[in-house]
Structures are given as C-alpha cells and as structure tokens.
Amino acid sequence: MAHIQLILGLWLYTISPFSNHFLQHFPEAVHQRDFRFFGMEHSLMMIVAIVLITIGSAKAKRKATDSQKFKAMAVWYTIGLLIIVASIPWVFSPFTSRPNFRPLF
C-alpha cells in the first residue's frame, strides 16, 4: 500500500502546479509555505517514511522467530506511520492545510 501511495505521489509531483512552481521558482518559492510544503517537506518526508517501512519489511522477513518479526515490524512501521501522519496536510495542520471535503459544484 505504501508503494502505491509512493507511485501516486511521484506522479502527482510531476503534474502538480505546486511542485512545478516550486522547482521553477526555487529561490522565492522555498520561502512560501504552501510551495515549500508540497515541493519539499511533504514529498521528502513521505519518501523517508516509505523507505523506513520498506526497510522494516525486509528486516522482519530475515528474523528467525515470529516474535522477532512482529517486533521489527512494530518498531519500523510505527516510526514510518508517525512521519506519514505528521506530514499529511490535515485540515488542522500548522504547516499547510487541505479541506476534508471539497464541494463538487
């Protein structure tokens, strides 16, 4: 699931006006909250989180016993999940917020 989100995020990064503006006007955009968030902070932190989840999955597979496997997953997945939760533009986020629902018309 994390990897599907990664692919969708990377695809979104190539088409989003936020990331395009961020990359094309880096010196000014890096000081503007919305552009910095989607152009750098959100994307980078999500990639870090997904890398940690992938490492956790690989480590768990190599453990000998079930309890060692569960322990490895609990530690790595929890750290990854915390980073993901912290990097989502919640409606109450102090960095950049997005609405929970958008009216269709």
| Nearest distance from C-beta of residue 1 to ligand HEM, angstroms | 8
**79 vs 9, 19, 43, 74, CA distance in Å?**
20, 26, 17, 9
Residue 37 touching ligand HEM (CB under 6 A): no
| Nearest distance from C-beta of residue 57 to ligand HEM, angstroms | 15
43 vs 72 by CB, closer to ligand HEM: 43
Binders of ligand HEM in range 46-85 (CB under 6 A)? 46-47, 84
| DSSP one-letter string for the chain | -HHHHHHHHHHHHHH-HHHHHHHHTHHHHTTSHHHHIIIIIHHHHHHHHHHHHHHHHHHHHH-SSHHHHHHHHHHHHHHHHHHHHHHS--TT-SS----S-----
| Interacting residue with ligand HEM among 40, 48, 89, 95 (CB under 6 A) | 89
| Interacting residue with ligand HEM among 3, 10, 74, 78 (CB under 6 A) | 10
Interface ranges with ligand HEM (CB under 6 A): 5-6, 9-10, 12-13, 16-19, 38, 42-43, 46-47, 84, 88-89, 98
